Amino acid sequence: MTASPEPGRLLNPLDPAFAAHPYPAYAVAREAAAAFRQPGDHLTYLTRYADVHAAFRDRRLGSTFLHRYTAEELGLDPGIPVWRDPRWTDFQAFERWELLNLEPPIHTRLRRLVLEAFTPRAVDALRGGIEARAAELLAPGRERGSIDLVDYGQAFSLGIICDLIGVAPGDRDTIKRLSDDTVSMYEPGVSEAQQAVANRATGDFRRYLLDVVRHRRAHPGADLTTALITATIDGVRLDDDQVVSTAMVLLMAGHEATVNATANGVAALAAHPEAWRRIREGAVTARQAIEEILRWDPPLQWFERWVLEEGVQLGGAPVAKGSRVALVIGAANRDPRRFPDPDRFDVARDDTGHITFGGGIHFCIGAPLARMELEVTLGELAGSEDALEIVSTPVRRPTFQFRGFQRLEVALHGRRA
Ligand code: HEM
């Protein structure tokens, strides 16, 4: 492919071929221009590492604008973005207190409360339980001779975050369904019908968690919901809507990306037997390898920001106040200006500088937990599998922003004697 004068045309999230394998198109677009737009779209794309890294930290950009302007003040097209559609009242009620959608000072205070539960030390205390859970969930596959890593990952990551929040084990399937339907609102090009489904699911999700909150008020437990109910910000207790939105974003963010990262990682390792051999032999630790997995094929490909001020230049190009910017993590992680030989999957790269967990004030709260989950799963597999072998054709998810697999069946030969 040669460099295109319109690099934006190369990045079409609705094109299944692009979504299946976006990296070659990113490479061409990234070299063609530092900042570019899709014809007819108001989104400016940033694909170079330095620009994406800076944009995550740029306070002239916001994940919301509502702390400073109304939509009218910003001169927004009323149809954009879809989730601000006034018909989707349940979705808006959720987003009103969703961490990713808040800005300081309330964001700082709410985030601080949640962070306490996810510090590396707090997560380290969970390690024994997480290892036991991985072994238990892999056991039936070891009996059978193979396992779908997506099924495994869902049971694993969803179980962990549900237990932390205080969701009853019998309700995990309900949470999974509600979460899948809710996050579909964020996919590019989501249809009107799907938006209605997402809004309904958000309402059901909120009502479910309101019940959990009421129950925990009467019967406190050792879970995060109880901690949020009893916590105060400047001497004031969180209200139900704040607790519910916080629990909801944790339940969704707390499994979706980790499941996809697990499957993306195992697929990458299966395609690179030499890398797997080095992990098996202990030349590279699982902890090192997961950083390369996260860099090479991130489960969340991009995030967006609003431009909140006049006169902003990004990647050398002016971007209008009220427009949006796409921070393309998947492209930034493969920028040769930052990572030598970036398309090479090198588990010994030993570089944690990828942008897979974002940056700045919204940097992923769950990064220590996600890292531990990935490390534990890889460690379990490395303890028993001489080779990672995919036994049936892997099926990629059709979604682009959430990059993962629908199904990834891997042979399990069992622990060696
Ligand atoms: C491999 C797995 C994961 C990846 C790649 C990932 C990625 C990210 C990214 C890129 C952001 C920043 C988004 C932005 O700036 O707009 C983010 C934020 C967030 N993540 Fe994760 N995440 C993962 C796992 C988790 C887990 C396990 C949890 C919860 C236990 C979690 C909870 C959150 C929360 C609450 C935020 C919002 C933080 C804030 O706004 O202050 N994530 N994540």
In this structure, the residue with its CA closest to atom 25 of ligand 1 is 366
pTM, full prediction = 0.94
Tokens of residue 111, six digits: 């985030």
In this structure, the residue with its CA closest to atom 21 of ligand 1 is 364
CB 365 less than 6 A from any atom of ligand 1: yes
What does the buried/exposed string (b/e) look like for 76-101 if buried means 16 or more CB atoms within 10 Å of the residue's CB? beeeeebbbbeebebbebbbebbbeb
Centre of ligand 1 to C-alpha 52, Å, is 16
Q: Is the dihedral of CA 12, 17, 21, 24 positive or negative?
A: negative
**pLDDT at residue 70, rounded to an integer:** 84
**Measured over all CA atoms, what is the biggest interatomic distance in the chain, rounded to whole angstroms?**
69
Centre of ligand 1 to C-alpha 99, Å, is 10
Centre of ligand 1 to C-alpha 358, Å, is 8
Phi, psi of 402 (to 5 degrees): -95, 100
**pLDDT at residue 293, rounded to an integer:** 98
**pLDDT at residue 318, rounded to an integer:** 93
**pLDDT at residue 164, rounded to an integer:** 94
CB 290 less than 6 A from any atom of ligand 1: no
3-state secondary structure of 153: helix
Instruction: Provide the 10 A C-beta neighbour count for residue 277.
Output: 13
What does the buried/exposed string (b/e) look like for 103-131 if buried means 16 or more CB atoms within 10 Å of the residue's CB? beeebebbbebbeebbeeeebeebeeebb
**pLDDT at residue 206, rounded to an integer:** 97
Per-residue pLDDT tens listing for the chain (417 residues):
333 346 777 788 778 888 889 999 999 999 999 998 877 677 899 999 999 999 999 999 999 888 888 888 888 766 555 446 778 999 999 999 999 999 988 899 899 989 888 888 889 999 999 999 999 999 999 999 999 999 999 999 999 999 999 999 999 999 999 999 999 888 777 888 999 999 999 999 999 999 999 999 999 998 999 999 988 888 888 899 999 999 999 999 988 899 999 999 999 999 999 999 999 999 999 999 999 999 999 999 999 999 999 999 999 999 999 889 999 999 999 999 999 999 999 999 999 999 999 999 999 999 999 999 999 999 999 999 999 999 989 989 888 888 999 999 999 986 543
Roughly what angle, to the nearest 10 degrees, separates helices 273-280 and 286-296?
150
* Nearest residue to 268 via CA among 345, 330, 332, 333: 345
In this structure, the residue with its CA closest to atom 17 of ligand 1 is 364
Rounded alpha-carbon distances, angstroms, from residue 316 to 48, 205, 210, 312: 12, 43, 47, 9
Task: DSSP letter for 304, please.
Answer: E
Cα separation, 113 vs 132, whole angstroms? 28
Centre of ligand 1 to C-alpha 391, Å, is 31
CB 213 less than 6 A from any atom of ligand 1: no
Q: Where does 253-402 show beta strands of DSSP type E?
A: 302-307, 312-314, 317-319, 324-328, 395-396
Cα separation, 318 vs 362, whole angstroms? 24
Cα separation, 288 vs 334, whole angstroms? 18
**pLDDT at residue 417, rounded to an integer:** 39
**pLDDT at residue 414, rounded to an integer:** 67
CA end-to-end span of the chain? 50
In this structure, the residue with its CA closest to atom 32 of ligand 1 is 366
